[in-house]
Structure 1
Amino acid sequence: MAKHRPLRVDPIAEAKRQWSEHGWEDAALGMSAVTSVMRAQQLVLARVEAEMKVFGLSFARFELLRLLAFSREGRMPMASVISRLQVHATSVTSAVDRLSSAGLLRREPHPGDGRSALLALTDAGRELVDRATEALNERVFTQLSISEEDTRELVSILARFRKNSGDFIDPTPLPDPL
Structure 2
Amino acid sequence: MPTLLPLARTNAEAHLYLELQPCPNCGEPRCEFRSSVVSLDGVLASRYTGECPRCGRERSYEFRLPEQILLPPASTVRFGGDEPSELIDPGIWLWYADDLGRRVPTDVSGFDAGQRRSAKHTVATALAAVEEVLKFIPSDADQVPADAFTSPEGRSVRAQEPGRFQRERLEAIRDYYATEFTRW
Q: TM-score range by the shorter chain?
A: under 0.3
Judging by fraction of residues, say which structure has more helix: 1
Could you tell me the TM-score, scaled by structure 2's length?
0.25
Judging by fraction of residues, say which structure has more strand: 2
Structure with greater Cα Rg: 1
Structure number with the bigger relative contact order (C-alpha 8 A, sep ≥ 6) is 2
